[in-house]
Structures are given as C-alpha cells and as structure tokens.
Structure 1
Amino acid sequence: MLEPHAEPIAIEALGIEWEWEDTPEVSLCVVDTVADAVRLFNTYSPRLVASMISKDVTEQEQFWSTINSPFVGNGFTRWVDGQFALDKPELGLSNWENGRLFARSGVLGGDSAFTLRIRAVQDSPHIHR
C-alpha cells in the first residue's frame, strides 16, 4: 500500500482523530507562539489531554493556565489511558470502567460548581511509554 508521507490539510481538520491501517497518522501544525498553539487546541481538538515539551517555566505556566484540557503534562500523554496506567491494551472509550478518566471531575458547592484538572510533571528520563 502506498501512502503519501505528508499532505496539506485544512486548519479545521486538526481535530480529526485519524484511523490508520499499517502506519500511524498524525497532524502537525507549526505555530509561532504558545498562545497560537493553545488557541488551535482549544478550538479544534477533542480537548482530552495536552502536553507541551519545554524547559521554559513561564511557557509551561502559560500553557497550563490557558489550555482547556482536564489532563495536562510536560511529556508523553499515555499516562491518561489504560495502556500506561493499568498495563492493559488501549481500548479507547471502552476502558473507562477500569479507571480511565475522561473529563474533569466535578465538585458541587452550595452555590457553585468546580471542575478539577490533573497535571503531570515528568522529570525522570527513565519513565517511558
């Protein structure tokens, strides 16, 4: 099977979760600023998990404070799914019953509601997927 190595897509297609046969498919968008990346993520992605690889603490804080995702990290994103967390094959939405969290947890107060987010800081080079 011949597949193109790269092809342009419309900006609106950034949120598509691609099906793949023999090779993984990924969308890549190069931006000038963290704010540009966050805006695209918040607009087009399913917003489940976000990660930014940077040693710049200010950039990491900007990312954390503006990204609309319940799971935010600074390394790989597999810690959210069952494969890494539970050592089980990734089953997509079907593994929620065994511990995968899909959205922000909610806390109801007498006059308000709060949502919780989880942040993973990966600082060990020995942790891998």
Structure 2
Amino acid sequence: MTISSDADVVRVRQLVRSTAVTIALSLVDQTKLVTAASELARNTLVYGGGGNAEVAILDGGRRKGIRIVFADQGPGIADLDLALTDGYTSGGGLGLGLGGARRLVDEFEVDSGAGRGTRVVITKWARSG
C-alpha cells in the first residue's frame, strides 16, 4: 500500500485494524497495533516523504500474527539511538516516537541511516488462551 497522503495513513490504519480483527487479536492488542502502525505510517509520510506499507498475516503454527513493513527512500534517521529514546519526538506525529511504537508491538526492527531511507518492521502476535 502506497503512503503519499494523509488519506493513505488512514487507509493503512483501517487495513491494519481489519487484519487484526481477522486473526482475532484482542481489542487491547488491536489498539496497540493500530496505534503503532498509525505512528509509523505518519513518519513514513512526514519524514520519509512517502513510501509504502506491506501488511501480512503470519501463521506461527499455534498462533497467528501480523507483520507490517514500512519503507521509504527519504533522508533516513541520522541518529537512530536518539530516535529510539523514550519520549523523543521531532514533532508532527502522535508524540509516541519510534520508542513508543516499539513498546506497543512484540517485535520491532528498524534499518536506517542518513541518506538511505528507513525500513521499520513490526510484528504483533495473537495471544493464545
């Protein structure tokens, strides 16, 4: 899914929510995942100049999950350690920053550097029980 406008950020959020319902994530986990995805989609648009998001359902055997990959070809994150610091935000997003988004999901990977864009992969697993 392309992210090139505010409307695309809304569409990403809607797709993530409907996918979370499909795999029976709890309401709390749906909210966490949608919040993280919204922040990352907004970052892709605002800081990366647009990019794309790929949403996939994972089947881990006894549990299902959702993996979302956000990628852009923007300027990248010059200081990734700072960007991942709790409470750090450069403005414009939900105020969560990357650190906040990381806390809302089960798995979080980021690959970025000045001048080479950013790729963030998040995964949320359905709780068994």
TM class by shorter chain equals under 0.3
Larger Rg: 1
Higher RCO, Cα 8 Å, sep 6+ = 2
TM-score under structure 2 normalisation? 0.26
Give the number of the structure whose residues are more often strand, by fraction: 2
